[in-house]
Each structure stands twice: as C-alpha cells, then as structure tokens.
C-alpha cells in the first residue's frame, strides 16, 4: 500500500508528459527529486531502528516509542517552518511551488515515519492500508485536479504533497490511537540518544539519493536536454520497481527484527524475500514495456531498449535490502551503511563521467546498473562477515530456484533487443514469474500444514 502511495508521483509524472510542457516537466521532476530527498532525510534513519526496538527493547519499549514519536513528528515540523520562512525571503523562480513542495514533504515525513514503522511492526494491516491509501488518493486526486484540470503546472503538483501531508498527519494520529502507550520519562531515552541511533543511516540515505540522480545530472553535461528527458521518463518507469521493492523490504522488516543471529527461521525469510523480489522484477519488466507503449508519447519511447538494464538496476537495489536487513535488523549494526552507499555512489559517478561522454544514454544506463549492483554487492560483503544470514547453506538448498533467477536475469538482458528476441524474452520472463509464484505459494501451504 505504501509502495503505491510513494510510486504514485512517479507514475503520474510519466502520465503528465501529455499535459506538461517539456519545461514544466523538468521543473516538476526537480520538485519531486527534492521532495523525495526531504522525506528520506527526515526519517532521521529511525524507521529501521524503531522496528528493531519494537522487538528488542522489552519492558522499555513504551519509553523508547514515546521519545521516537516526538522526534519524528516535531523535527519535520520545525524544518517545514524554517524552510518556508527562508524560501519566502529568497526571490527564486516558482517560489510558491518550492514552498508548497518543501513544506508538504516535511509534513509527509511527520505523518508517516513513525506510523509506518509501528503499524508494520505490530501487524496492524487495516490501519496501515488505510493510511497509505488515503495519502495515495489525496495525492492523485489533488494533482489530477490542479495539474490536468486547472492547468496549474508545477505549483499544482507541489500542492498535492502539501494536502497529502496534512491528511497524513491527521489519519496517522487516528491510526495510532489504539496503539498509544504513555511510557514514562526514562533518562536512558532522550531526544538526542534516540536520534543518534539513526544518524549513521542519514548519510546512507543521502548517498542513495545521489546515486539515483547522479546519472541524469551528469548525462545533461554530454547530451541534449531532449535525450535527458527521454532517459528520465523511462527511468521513472523503472523507478516504480525500486519503490515497490523498497516497500517489500519494509514488509519483511519485522520478520528480520524478531529473529536474532542464528535463528532457524532466517533462511526461510530470506528465501521468501528473494522470490518476492524476483517476481516483482519480472512483473514490472513486462508491465513497464506496456506502459512505455501506452503512456509515453512517441518522442519519449524512441529509446525503449534502455529499459531492461535500468530494470535490472532496480532489481539490484531491491536485493540490496536483504543483506542490509541482516546488518541493521538481525545484527543491529548501522555504522556500515554510509560506507556501503558512498562506495556505490563513488563508482556510479566515476562511471557516468567516463562513459556518458563516450556512449551517451548507454553510458548512463550502464553506470546506473553497475552502481546499484555495487550497492548490493558491498552490502552483501559486509553482511556475510557477520554470518547473521547463512548464505552458502541457503543457496545450496535451492538449486532450481537459483537457476530460475539466472534465467530471469538473462531474459531481461535479452529484452534489450527489439522484435522477435524481445517477445521471446518477455514470454520467458512471464513463465519464470508464474513458476516462482506457484513455487512460493506451494512452499507457504506446506509450511502452514506442518505448523498445524
């Protein structure tokens, strides 16, 4: 549900290529990028820490949550007021849109960071879905009205986040009402001590934001703005996969957090996470090509051959969450996160600077795919040293599934070529996805039968 809410902006942005001028499209893309940065930064790295504490804090959980809730609510509100005051004094183009976007993003962070973490950890499915779907409906409805109907352009787009942020705060308070536990003033948990736990993850999030934007910023140095627009539109479609896989990881977070290193349940959790990730990749690869054909104007879909490799980059990003959950939620280690992201960012920037001047669009595509693969590989290397996840034993027990993963990746690469090869490749992807989905359902049914 939260995946749909967060992906809505990207989906609408692509759909609005038929409504917005190229200039407005670029401005809205920039507003969206900065808005996502603010939301990412204002989690303060506390979302995984709240999930971890939910299962490990014991009798002190209420004391911890009392402070965490206040920190994740008041810090974004203070920043929203500060940004609004500063932007109101600075004469910049689209001043109103920037104020609306920054304030709206801060309100979204205030309304969702704590709520999503606690509702997921406590398995409150209905309140969680209600919160996510309400935000989704508000964003989509407001943006369609203000951008497509009223023709307010970037300002109307930014207003969608402002209204959604206000709604998020109101609905999250209602969703958390039944879970509210007063807690007491525990000197062990202060605003600084709680915030400090998540701070190592903030550079990590910022590096990931840079990783997702560096390709387009550097590409603009070497190719025309029209080609950058084509790349950005196709990248947005691939980015939906990243957002969904991010939310898949968050759905698995409580399962990782409740199992200490050495738990017999960890291999099953990782196997399920892997299968779901590859199934999501396959589904969105096929759906992505359909979206490119149906949604994008002809000028934007002229380079659809770059989509498969961008989709593989999105898959690598989704797989990176598995070892990261092992590090942060099973082992409780957050200090490695900045090194992991900065390593991937450095490689990505270096590859883009080197390859974009030679290969143009393909340089950015290759740099993006290798950058996210490095992100996943570096996280895996650090996690393997903790041995929280028994990788060798886990992979040795599923040879058929491993072969299916390799076939899925190979078919994705083959889909780069148009015509008959692409048709065969996408058909292969569809068959592998169905086989993996059936296998997952069969395994879950067998597990439930044994549990009885």
More confident residue, 291 or 441: 291
CA atoms lying within 13 Å on the CB side of residue 41: 17
Calculate the average pLDDT of the chain. 86
| 112: pLDDT strictly greater than 70 | yes
User: For the chain, first and last CA: distance in Å?
Assistant: 30
Model confidence band, residue 450 (pLDDT cutoffs 50, 70, 90): very low
Q: Residue 452 has what pLDDT?
A: 44
Max distance between CA atoms of the chain, in angstroms, equals 67
The residue written with tokens 């396959």 in the block is 282
pLDDT tens digits, 245-269: 988 998 898 889 888 888 888 998 9
In whole angstroms, give the CA distance from residue 116 to residue 237.
25
CA atoms lying within 13 Å on the CB side of residue 69: 20
Q: Which of 95-104, 107-116, 154-163, 294-303 has the lowest mean pLDDT?
A: 294-303
Strand segments (E) across 195-336: none
In whole angstroms, give the CA distance from residue 65 to residue 184.
10
The two three-digit tokens of residue 422, written as one number: 């692409």
In whole angstroms, give the CA distance from residue 345 to residue 351.
10
Q: Print burial letters for 94-120: b (CB count within 10 Å at least 16), e (below 16).
A: beebbbbbbbbbbbbbbbbbbbbbbbb
Q: Residue 366 has what pLDDT?
A: 95
Model confidence band, residue 22 (pLDDT cutoffs 50, 70, 90): low
In whole angstroms, give the CA distance from residue 202 to residue 113.
14
Question: What number is the average pLDDT over the span 139-158?
Answer: 88
Distance, C-alpha 303 to centroid of its chain: 25
Model confidence band, residue 387 (pLDDT cutoffs 50, 70, 90): confident
In whole angstroms, give the CA distance from residue 200 to residue 187.
22
Report if pTM > 0.95. no
Q: Residue 236 has what pLDDT?
A: 83
pLDDT tens digits, 35-49: 888 888 898 888 888
pLDDT tens digits, 81-109: 999 999 999 888 888 999 999 999 999 99
| 446: pLDDT strictly greater than 50 | yes
The number of helices, as runs of H, and strands, as runs of E, in the chain is 17, 0
Model confidence band, residue 447 (pLDDT cutoffs 50, 70, 90): low
Model confidence band, residue 6 (pLDDT cutoffs 50, 70, 90): low
């Amino acid at each position: 549900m939260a995946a749909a809410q967060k992906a809505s902006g990207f989906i609408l942005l692509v759909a609005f290529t038929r409504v917005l001028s190229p200039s407005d499209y670029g401005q809205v893309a920039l507003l969206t990028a900065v808005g996502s940065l603010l939301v990412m930064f204002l989690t303060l790295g506390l979302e995984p820490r709240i999930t971890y504490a939910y299962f490990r804090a014991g009798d002190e959980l209420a004391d911890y949550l009392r402070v965490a809730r206040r920190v994740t609510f008041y810090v974004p509100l203070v920043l929203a007021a500060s940004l609004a005051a500063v932007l109101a004094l600075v004469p910049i183009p689209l001043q109103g849109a920037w104020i609306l976007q920054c304030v709206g993003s801060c309100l979204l962070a205030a309304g969702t960071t704590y709520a999503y973490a606690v509702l997921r950890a406590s398995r409150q499915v209905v309140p969680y879905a209600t919160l996510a779907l309400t935000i989704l409906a508000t964003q989509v409805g407001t943006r369609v009205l203000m951008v497509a109907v009223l023709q307010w352009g970037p300002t109307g787009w930014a207003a969608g986040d402002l209204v959604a942020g206000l709604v998020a705060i109101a609905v999250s308070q209602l969703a958390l009402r039944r879970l509210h536990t007063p807690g007491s003033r525990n000197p062990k948990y202060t605003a600084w001590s709680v915030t400090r736990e998540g701070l190592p993850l903030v550079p990590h999030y910022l590096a990931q934001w840079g990783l997702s934007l560096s390709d387009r910023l550097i590409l603009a140095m070497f190719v025309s703005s029209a080609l950058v627009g084509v790349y950005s539109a196709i990248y947005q479609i691939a980015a939906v996969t990243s957002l969904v896989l991010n939310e898949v990881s968050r759905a698995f977070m409580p399962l990782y957090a409740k199992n200490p290193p050495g738990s017999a349940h960890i291999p099953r959790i990782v196997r399920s996470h892997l299968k779901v990730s590859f199934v999501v990749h396959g589904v969105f690869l096929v759906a992505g090509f359909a979206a490119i054909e149906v949604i994008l104007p002809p000028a934007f879909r002229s380079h659809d051959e770059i989509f498969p490799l961008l989709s593989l980059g999105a898959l690598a990003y989704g797989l990176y969450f598995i070892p990261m959950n092992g590090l942060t939620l099973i082992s409780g280690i957050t200090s490695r996160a900045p090194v992991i992201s900065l390593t991937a960012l450095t490689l990505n920037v270096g590859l883009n600077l080197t390859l974009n001047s030679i290969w143009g669009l393909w340089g950015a595509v290759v740099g993006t795919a290798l950058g996210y693969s490095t992100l996943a590989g570096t996280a895996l290397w650090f996690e393997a040293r903790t041995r929280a996840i028994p990788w060798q034993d886990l992979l040795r027990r599923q040879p058929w599934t491993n072969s299916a993963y390799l076939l899925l990746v190979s078919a994705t690469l083959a889909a780069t070529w148009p015509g008959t090869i692409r048709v065969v490749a996408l058909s292969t992807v569809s068959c592998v996805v169905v086989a993996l989905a059936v296998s997952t359902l069969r395994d879950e049914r067998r597990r439930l039968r044994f549990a009885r």
